Amino acid sequence: MCREVHDLDEIGGLLEWDQSVMMPVNGARQRGRQQAALARLIHERWKSSELGDLLGRLQDGADDTDPWMKADLREVRRRRARALLVPDDLVAQRAMACSLAQGAWEKARKDNDFKAFLPYLEDVVRLTREWAACINGDRPYDALLDEYEPGALESELRPLFERVRERTLALLDRLKGASNPPSRAVMTRGFPMDSQRSFVRRLATDMGFDWSAGRLDTSAHPFTIGTLHDVRITTRYDPDNLATALFATMHEVGHALYEQGLDPERYSDPSGHACSLGIHESQSRFWENLIGRSRPFW
């Protein structure tokens, strides 16, 4: 059952990819209904009595299970416990709102018209707050964190971000006061689009991206969808700024390498997925920032 849910999740990801890369503009509402139906179906799987009965039977022999099985059971219980707290209708409404907001954001970004996007954003925020309150009414942001970074708490992250803020502001002050400030001129001149596309494809190849198990396309905002043998990444181009495509591609290939490197025997098991967004971002930002912005790379 859990592998079936994983397959359904992957279908949802492909619908997201298609919406951002290929879908006709007028298909937004149809796509929203599709995503809502799929989200409801996945949610019902997590809440099903069949899964509850299975977990109960497995619990009886928990002491005899191997480490992988114990990890699978831990992840399934966590996902199921969250799902049981949230109404099916709310899950579907939120999926619909997020899908509609994606198309509205792309148009608003192109037109530089935030007011046009605002109603969609308000719907997403409202429904997300309702969803979080169902899971943890006292600490709703902890409920949101746990979806992407299991076990993380707002109280632990606030001091971390305060330290990051202090060091970042100090660095900015140094740069602003520098007698010979860094120049970005090498990146901000005319770069033919065809040459940029060829360059970032070569870069992805050199990084180890497996083209037989993935593809690179263009979208309004770069992202990575998929896993193992079907990983879709996107980038975007600016004819007057090479950094846009360069660093976006390195970032997304970092995500893709993580997904392409998962264990093919376990990638669709609950414990075989990418383990958290923090770990995922550590891979993408390792390539984008620690390597991509290093002197040896240049």
Residues annotated as part of the active site = 252
What residue spans of 85-152 are helical by DSSP H?
88-111, 114-135, 140-148
Distance from C-alpha of 68 to C-alpha of 72, rounded to nearest angstrom: 6
Q: What is the DSSP letter of 240?
A: T
Tokens of residue 276, six digits = 């958290």
Distance from C-alpha of 58 to C-alpha of 69, rounded to nearest angstrom: 10
Q: Tell me which residue has tokens 């803020």.
A: 165
Cα Rg of the chain (Å, integer): 22
Q: What is the DSSP letter of 209?
A: -
| Parallel, antiparallel or unpaired: strands 224-227 and 230-235 | antiparallel
DSSP-assigned beta bridge partners for residue 225: 232
Nearest in space to 213 (alpha carbons), one of 227, 200, 225: 227
Phi and psi for 70 in degrees, rounded to 5? Answer: -60, -40
